[in-house]
Each structure stands twice: as structure tokens, then as C-alpha cells.
Amino acid sequence: MIVWQGLGFLAVLIPALLLVLLGMIEKTMPVPHGNEIVTLLSAIAVWFIGKYLNSMPGKVLIDPETNQKVELKEKHTIFWVPMQWFSIILLAITVNLFFS
């Protein structure tokens, strides 16, 4: 079961789509270290997309009774981890693939 908020599912979808693309490319020509390259590119893409999405400003509301400001902001997480930090897991997978 995958748990996400907002566009956090992209942290799994991006590597999956790149692996499918790699599979289609490898049918015509071999790609040395293809899996490592794909997971590294996925980690980079997930980091920048997650950083962008989670840094977007939220909607500021003012409580009429106390005049305190409250910011409502959409989170983009996967397994309760902000999307950009999921790229560290992808980077660890890249290192594991490279050394195995």
C-alpha cells in the first residue's frame, strides 16, 4: 500500500517511467549501467520537483477572533516523507546497484 499526499506519488512514478523508457531503449541497443543511470536521474528529478512543489506558498488566513495568521499549505509526501527527501532513498538504491 502506497501512502501519499498531494503529488507525492510522483516519487514512485518518475523512476517507474524512466525504467520503462530504459527497457524500450535497451531493446534496440545495450546501455551499460542503465539501471544505475536511471535511478540517479530519478533521484535528481524527484529532488528538484519535490523541492519546487513543497516550497510553493500556501494560503494565509486570518482568524477573526485572535487576528492570528494561519498558513494552509499542501504537502507533497510519500510514506509521510517529503517528496524531495525520498530522492535520498533513490540515491541509496543507485549506490547499491552500482556496487552489486
| 42-80 pLDDT per residue, tens | 999 999 999 999 999 999 999 888 999 989 999 999 999
Instruction: Give this prediction's pTM.
Output: 0.86
The tally of domains found in the chain comes to: 1
Question: 19: buried, middle or exposed (CB in 10 Å: 19+, 13-18, 0-12)?
Answer: middle
pLDDT tens digit sequence for 25-45: 999 999 899 999 999 999 999
Fill in the amino acid letter for 21. L
Fill in the amino acid letter for 100. S
The arithmetic mean of pLDDT across residues 7-19, rounded, is 96
Closest residue by Cα to residue 6 from 69, 61, 63, 86: 86
CA 96 to chain CA centroid, Å, is 19
Find the domain containing 15 and state its range: 4-99
Distances, alpha carbon 72 to alpha carbons 6, 55, 62, 82, in Å: 13, 13, 11, 16
